[in-house]
Structures are given as structure tokens and as C-alpha cells.
Amino acid sequence: MTESILVVEDEVRIARLLQIELECEGYRVSIAGSGHQGLELYQEQQPDLLLLDVMLPGFSGIELLRRIRAGDADTPVLLLTAKSSVEDKVSGLDLGANDYITKPFQIEELLARVRAALRLASGRKKVETDSWLRADDLELNEATREVMRAGRTIELTPREFDLLVFLLKNKRQVLNREQIMTAVWGYDYYGDTNVVDVYIRYVRKKLTQDNQEELIHTVRGIGYVLKDSL
């Protein structure tokens, strides 16, 4: 799918140059000439990347970055700054800009930085997508440490989270207490294996609110298994 870029730049000549060069690289490009218009187009289009001039009419690029980052920590933002504008560079990076490009710039460098930012963002999305573990209506993301069941967010302690990850990664396999303890508590843990039963009980309670089906089952004389509800 073609990636989209929003250029927020009030100098018409620079904006047009950027549009031509980026479209030649295969990107879909929109242009805004002020902070207000940039915010409107960002909200409408949800672009894959923003090229954002710091000095803009309406409100500044730094203010636009602040408003974007208030609700979006992921979309790459590259600042276009004046050569001597150290304060703007620092402010932008502190507010969450991914990179900055100093004017006047070489178009080859700008395109390389755009490619790098998009590649990094794509890699993060892939990690998050690949990190979901599921069983029935239970979902767990290892990268973001989110746990949900039927859309309900479930809060787990770090140990409870690690236990659930191990059970999900070994879904439908019967696991004895020693296996669970070694994987979750580590080889050097010398505590009672009853701690496994205690934490299984904690996790079960959190997963089965509102009369939901049990996902973690006891296998008498052996241990536990997590499997989809029938």
C-alpha cells in the first residue's frame, strides 16, 4: 500500500519541491500551509509521516507537534528547521519529533531520512502485530503488555503476566508445576511449587469475571492447561 506523507510548509516553492520529489518516490503527498490547516489534514487523513516546518502561520510547528503527540505517539514526525535554530530542534525532539532536517537541505538526505523513519515505524507496527497471543476471546500483546478479554482490559502483575504468556505460548499443552515454575520463576528459584497454584488462582479470577468461560483448566495429578472454551 502506498504510504502517505503530509507536508506542512508555508513556503510555496519548498512545499511544491517536496511534493514533486516525494511523489516521484511513490508516496501520496498532501500539503498544508499553516499550523491550523496541518492539524485539520492530519486529523482527516491520518498520514503515515509528517514533514513539519517549525515556522508556520497560525500556530508554530512545535505547537502542532505538541498537539499531535498528545494523542499519537507513533506517527513519524520530521521537523524542517532553520540552520541556527538549536532551541527549536531541542524543543521538537523533547516533544517527540523523530528527526530534524536543517534548511537548506539536500533532497537526497531528506528522502533517506523519510525512508528510515517509515521503515522504523513499519518495524514497530509489525512487532506489535506479531506479538499478539490469543485463546478464544482472550488477547495478550507481549510488546505493549496489554491483556484483554472480550474487549475488557485486564490488569495483571508482572508475574501474573509472565505466567499467562507461558500458558498461551503452550496453549493446549498440559504443563506440570515444575515446567511452569522453571519458565516463570527461573531455574534458581527454590520456593514451594504451591506458588504456581496460588498464581494460577489469581490469574483465573481476573480472566473469568462476568461469568466468562474458564480458559485455564486443572489436570489432576499433573498440572494445568490453557485452551479455548468449547
Q: Which three cell numbers stand for residue 18?
A: 517536496
Average pLDDT over all residues of the chain:
89
pLDDT in tens, 195-215: 899 999 999 999 998 778 899
Whole-angstrom Cα distance, residue 124 to residue 131? 11
Read off the C-alpha cell for 186.
Answer: 527461573
Distance CA 130, CA 141 (A): 9
Domains parsed from the chain with CATH numbers: 4-128 (3.40.50.2300), 132-226 (1.10.10.10)
Phi first, then psi: give them for residue 117, nearest 5 degrees: -65, -40
pLDDT band at 154 (very low <50, low <70, confident <90, very high): very high
For residue 127, name the pLDDT band (cuts at 50, 70, 90). Answer: low
| One-character DSSP codes across 150-218 | TTEE----HHHHHHHHHHHHTTT--EEHHHHHHHHH-TT--S-THHHHHHHHHHHHHHSGGGPPP-EEE
Three-state DSSP class for residue 139: strand
Q: Per the structure block, which three cell numbers stand in for 81?
A: 528547521
pLDDT of residue 90: 80
Distance CA 189, CA 47 (A): 49
Coil, strand or helix at 16: helix
In this prediction, residue 58 carries a pLDDT of 87
- Confidence band of 21 (pLDDT split at 50, 70, 90): very high
